[in-house]
A and B are shown apart, each in its own frame.
Chain A
């Protein structure tokens, strides 16, 4: 039974002790081998981006993980546990039904705090916008909040046409001052065409389905409270340690935050807003 153990005897002491020992060793090595085997399988079946997002989402600051329905005031406190993929959330339809029953007309005068957030677009929590074009394709860009955080990048690394994007996977990168910032893709689909910051859009994408799945994207009346929530996080991040919450001065967000705050580590500072762990 244990031929490799020197001096093994068929006694209760030897049997119990060695059985337990080898069971423990078997369990530990089995766990590691299973993890290694499954990780190889994961890499074949899933993208590294999907695993990265699943892990990084848990590591995001709690405020960054607030459910969209908490931000809009529909629920007092709720932290998302679906990695911002409302398509798989069982609670989201309930909130939508409640909102439809008690819907109030939007106040056209209510702005988005000096930020241009057109209502014909849908917004990802990582500050990318999506505009469905009605032909199964959609245009993707960076929203005004994100653009002001990024400022004027040295380079924009866009995926080549033909590349497949996954919602919440890597969309593209901005490079500035040697630092690299990842922006999450808001939808699943194949890149058809590249745009540019000057053109106001960055990618044209053909959705995996006939129409892009956009249930997880913010829209309409959700955008204003979300932007307020993001501005609060921003003010909080820029505040001094230990001061706590202070009254905002009411000003608008500057057009190039990095230039306004040269002492701030740009990549570390921006990454929580772009949902990078």
Chain B
């Protein structure tokens, strides 16, 4: 573990004396083991050691979404321990922790909610039985609290660690009794995240912070033209630079693409970057150097009239009578964007013979050590059992770190040298080399009936499919439901609805971005509903409510949002409110955005954002609020800041000076409200993104009469 073991981050530390692991068997039943070595098909989540130490394993990578608290909290709640008295360890793709070691799709907490509580409850039951057996008292006279079993009549108590011996002999209950929500001490309560203290004094170890004895550094020059490949390189000058150890070509695999770059390995990162500038490289860019964003946009619109692959086709939309008086057709555009995680891509790797040890920050540790064709072992030529991974705190994920192209590349760098090597991307590398969130364009058409209700609605999505760039097995002949996520499944009751997708070809490596395709297609959808409301002369909130059943989630959400946002209270001149909601991934959130327009300067200012997220059950309410506040800022970024564009095959942007993200002075008032009425549990991380842009666009329209159909919005409206 070298000198990083001082931080609590990974498992496999030495165990103190007798120990007991409790967790789940492959069949999902609670189980326990006295030694982990004997464990087959068993996932440990709790480790009790005889020295009193209790460890909870968090299998959901921590990237800022709060799993370092929320996942252990589920175990701790039922196990009756406080998070202050345990050690939390993030897992790193170890086989025993299974395929659940990934964070994406806003599934971490809701996907773990029952299982983790069950583990905690079963473990608690075992220790209560152990204590009552030891004390020879009735089980129902004992209870657990703060890591101890207590005999109620006498007040006698024993810590879990004192009961290991007895506990190891007792069978776990198959269906342990879970607590009533009213008895929760942690879940649903205001809580401090245990990773915050170490994130305020510099001691949290992110991927970039891993330091190993004898470690060297690499910086990689990659082809400026996306798709181009290496012809030859000349490193004489680079090798003369102080500190340079080695220069060689390396392969990076991102999805279906293989890119060859030239790595400079040096005794400091600085030396590597300086020598990198001295490389003389000839690239073969043939066929790729003519790629321009404007041309590609034109190509998308050229294909927009194709029927595409139809998803929903409700009613008989082709026979609906239309006239200019009752119909709107509109074209919407969104750009390619970079995730801009503040921690750039980084990975430390050490190859020893046929084994590799890897330290990085990534959302899918299960694939770093997995046995699949697209997993790191297969991509780098190691046997899965010979890949050891440590997942560190992640300096921002947002979907970018669902991919491990940078880990493949870093492992390939490590093959060049018999020392641990840290391969670090510069900000420019992360901006210019992707993978990026791809654009979608949308062709919208809507028709109103005589009663002013929406009777026909078409939404056709046009754009490249990021899944096609990721998987060789991608089937072009079938509709990828991701590309129409949400547009056919809102609660709106529209008698004639058609949604479709026209797939276009692209050579760019595409990526999921927080909320995936909803991050682009909710904007046209919910903006266009607004357009239709105005066409009908109706209040946009009222118009939506009239389209949904009173028993629907959306009715409930919008009614509450209407009240929370003071929707019906008139605003001053030059101010406007906009509403939008989105139901997708089994999540739902609605926004009301208030803007003010300065008629002199033309500037639009976002005054206030009211968010309402429907969660059913909430684990850490303050963290949910933090997530949504952040999603608003990220959405202001996506909606109003310039995207990534290409000229002659090269990304035109480099760094925050020409690809800016919002700063503190652009932060509006944000009021986040949570609907937690005990209904179905829903996710948190992503639903804050999709409906923000349309709510903002709708608010700007209300304030100024200017309708934005293309991102980024220019907030100077004259």
Partners in one complex: no
Residues of A within 8 A of B (CB): none
